């Protein structure tokens, strides 16, 4: 793709009927910031909500999405002591 001049890709979950494909505001913002990748997220409403969440695997490890079916109930309910909110609360839009 790079040899054909493609600089950016826009990916989204096919099961999200509300996604705004190639959202110009979002794409412009992350391009302006010069980051390698970006994702839109929403906060989980409650620990058992059936949505995948972003998780950093290990200290300094990569950020990835863990599906709700893979997240142990204890982890899904874990509270961040600094914020008082769910530790794993950012759901992929």
* Residue extents of the structural domains in the chain: 2-92
Structure confidence by residue, pLDDT tens digits, 46-78: 999 999 999 988 888 888 899 999 999 999 999
Position 13 pLDDT exceeds 90: no
Three-state secondary structure of the chain? CHHHCCCCCCCCCCCCCCCCCCCHHHHHHHHHHCCCCCCCEEECCCCCCCCCEEEECCCCCCEEEECHHHCCHHHHCCECCCCCCECCCEEEC
Give the per-residue pLDDT at 80. 93
């Amino acid at each position: 793709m790079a040899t054909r001049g493609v600089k950016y890709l826009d990916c989204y979950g096919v099961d999200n009927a509300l996604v705004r494909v190639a959202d110009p505001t979002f794409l412009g913002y992350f391009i302006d910031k010069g980051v390698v990748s970006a994702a839109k997220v929403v906060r989980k409403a409650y620990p058992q909500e059936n949505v995948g969440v972003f998780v950093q695997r290990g200290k300094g490890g990569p950020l990835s999405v863990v599906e709700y079916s893979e997240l142990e109930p204890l982890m899904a309910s874990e509270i961040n002591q600094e914020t008082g909110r769910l530790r794993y609360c950012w759901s992929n839009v």
